[in-house]
Amino acid sequence: MKKFNIFPLKSVFYLYIGIFIIFVNIIWAYPPYNEHDDNSVKQVISHLKATEIYPGSIEFISWSPVVIITTGNYKVTVTFKSLNRFKRIVKKKQIIIMDETGKVLNVFNCR
């Protein structure tokens, strides 16, 4: 009796699941915008919490409105306090450039 090989069916199934997940991520991606209550931008908050040395120490001071720049990307300026590597509180002002899905492309430090 010959066994039925189910491996090709599994790989096709996983391929369809992967395409579906990519499609859902593209559809549900939304441009960055300021929240109504505190003017924050979710994508910037998650980026800063992922890149700062002490993410629990971040205290946001001010947010600029999200602006569309000429290349079709978005720009926002954020001012915040956090601990540096010497555990000193420093105030930082950064200009953050994002694409149309909210992915952070560039971060510029201001003085």
Q: Is residue 24 part of a domain?
A: no
Query: CA end-to-end span of the chain, whole Å?
Result: 76
Dump strand ranges (E) for the chain: 59-63, 67-68, 74-83, 89-98, 104-110
pLDDT digits (tens, 9 = 90+) for 77-92: 999 999 999 999 999 9
The whole-model pTM stands at 0.73
Query: Is 106 contained in some domain?
Result: yes
Domain count, the chain: 1
* 105 φ, ψ (degrees, to nearest 5): -100, -45
d(CA 55, CA 17): 34
- State the residue range of the domain holding 104: 31-110
Tens-digit pLDDT profile for residues 10-44:
777 788 888 887 777 666 678 899 999 999 999 99
| Domain membership flag for residue 62 | yes
> 25 in helix, strand or coil?
helix
